[in-house]
Amino acid sequence: MTEHVTAWLAAYHDGELRGLRLRQVETHLAHCETCRTELEALQALTALLQESPVAEVITSPDRFVAQVGLRLPRRPVQPAWQRTLEAGWRLAPVGLLGAWAFGQAVFFVAGVVTGALRMGLGGDAVAGLLPAAQQRLWLAEVFSLSNVGLNDAGRIMLRMLSNGGPLGWGVTLHLVLSVVIGLLYCSWLASWWARRRHRTQISGH
Amino acid sequence: MSSQSAQSAETELELITQAQRGDRRAFGELVRRHREGVVNVVYRMCGETNLAEDAAQEAFIRAWQHLPGYQPRSPFRNWVYRIATNVALDALRRERETVDVDTLSLAASDEGPETTLEGKERGERVRQAVLALPPASRAVLVLREYEGLSYREIADTLDIPIGTVMSRLNYARNRLRESLAPCLEVL
């Protein structure tokens, strides 16, 4: 005979078992007198519990509903701006996702255009449109206007800055945007969790 | 079509949506539909009809206050039962003298199996044995045995893991099998 299924009898009695476990318990019960007796005891207890009287409600349904109605406090009507704010808060993840997708698209297009320009597809006339060249020119203009003389170290720094740091402008901006969107999303999740917890506590637990 | 039949035709979800917007009539219809269940849950928890009616009304008032935050992912019935269970537990904390657990245990064990128990008397014995259970186990037992909720629904209603539901239910049943042994032998 297989091992007793005492641990599963309550779940079997409550109709909570499915599949293999259910078949296992049924097969065992067909052969095991001990487990059958245990199951019968559970069934007897359930039958006995039903003998406990139900509540003798004195108040009629209409009167009960009316009494509840009289005791209902006035629920403050949410102003329109709060409803708008609430809707905005609920749509925030979609907005963040949209912003991230937009950023990705912009970086992709910029990458394709830059690649094409670097390959010389646009000719010399458009070479100045390359982002690094533009930044270098712009920073050099700034330094010349402010009459700042640059030594070698300054020129290296200028080159670093004009290239957007060691990773380049494109990658740096990409990283910053992803981190900012990620942080905003985490903040939204945290506030969602806090609100849910608050509501759960209010309704009892 | 009369207004009453029109009301009954409204789905629960429609009523909830309307009540969430502040419609008291829709909420009244929800109260009417769930009154019996909620009163019984509270009664099984408290053991006093008057207290149960008061606590049930209190549960519905609490439900009204927090209805805007209710999301119909879980059935409305379970949500109201959850509130009702907590209101009942609060009421029990306030009125501890309602049930003297020690007296009940002694009363249950003093009687021998030879005692003839009439149906009403046996029902009363059962009611008292259930009331003598710890509130946490009693809540699980009431929702399972009297309201027929599944383990998952009980877990959601009381916000506890399914394993805890099973262990509390087992504990409650074992306690009841001991305290109601004379009644079970008669069956």
Q: Does A82 touch chain B (CB under 8 A)?
A: no
Interval B94-132: pLDDT, tens? 766 544 444 444 344 444 444 445 677 888 888 889 989
Q: Does A47 touch chain B (CB under 8 A)?
A: yes
Reading chain A (205 residues) residue by residue, the pLDDT tens digits are 568 888 899 999 999 998 899 999 999 999 999 999 999 999 999 999 888 777 777 788 889 999 998 888 876 556 567 778 878 888 888 998 998 898 888 888 887 887 777 777 766 655 555 555 555 555 555 556 555 555 666 666 656 555 555 556 677 778 888 899 899 999 999 988 887 776 655 444 4
CB-CB: which of B62, B123, B144 is closest to A53? B123
Q: Does A205 touch chain B (CB under 8 A)?
A: yes
Pair of tokens at residue A193:
């969790």
Interval B33-68: pLDDT, tens? 999 999 999 998 888 777 888 889 999 999 998 888
ipTM value greater than 0.90: no
Task: Name which of A53, A30, A32, A186 is nearest B130 in CA terms.
Answer: A53
Taking a C-beta distance cutoff of 8 angstroms, is the pair B179, B129 a contact? yes
Interval A44-56: pLDDT, tens? 999 998 887 777 7
Q: What is the DSSP string of A4-49?
A: P-HHHHHHHHTT---HHHHHHHHHHHHH-HHHHHHHHHHHHHHHHH
CB atoms within 10 A of CB B162: 15
Check whether B1 has a pLDDT greater than 60: no
Interval A16-27: pLDDT, tens? 998 899 999 999
Task: Name which of A26, A51, A101 is nearest B184 in CA terms.
Answer: A51
In terms of CA atoms, which chain A residue is nearest residue B131? A52
In terms of CA atoms, which chain A residue is nearest residue B31? A65
A129 CB-near residues (< 8 Å, 6+ apart): A117, A122
Q: What is the pLDDT of residue A78?
A: 61
For residue A56, the chain B residues in CB contact (below 8 A) are 49
Interval A173-200: pLDDT, tens? 788 888 998 999 999 999 888 877 766 5
Q: What is the pLDDT of residue B143?
A: 93
Q: What is the pLDDT of residue B133?
A: 93
pTM to 2 decimals? Answer: 0.61
